[in-house]
Amino acid sequence: SGGSYGVLVCPPRRMLIRVTRCTISDAAVGILLDGPSCPRVDSCTIRNCRLAGVVAGGCGRCSSVGGNTVAACLGHGIVAEASSAARVHGNTITGCAAGAALVCGSARPVFDANTLDAPGGGRAA
């Protein structure tokens, strides 16, 4: 806790990586997913991040961010950017100042069954 990233997943080639049952707090970004990987992030608790709870950028369709609790981030709870095609499902996102989720660039993630409760609103494009 307290560093730039809680978990950084950026392998140079396509790999299946799972991040599960972790607790991250007080990082700039809780979990950063990038590159051609197919990470799965589930059952994690991410709190008090300065920029975002989870950032998925450039990830493949098999990427999954599900069943996580993201709370009290100064930025967005979950950000899907660039060409991300992550499935973002079953997360509880509360109290994130900039909003629960942000989709930008050519991102085409699947958002389903998320509980969104943030002062900045729900999902932005």
Scan for tokens 């972790």, then name that residue: 22
Using one digit for the tens of pLDDT, what is the confidence trace for 68-123?
999 999 999 998 887 777 788 999 999 999 888 887 777 777 888 999 885 554 54
Report the predicted TM-score, pTM, of the whole model to 2 decimal places.
Answer: 0.84
User: Per residue in 29-39, pLDDT tens?
Assistant: 999 887 777 78
Cα 56 to Cα 34: distance, rounded to the nearest angstrom: 6
Q: Where are the domains of the chain?
A: 5-124
Distance CA 7, CA 53 (A): 11
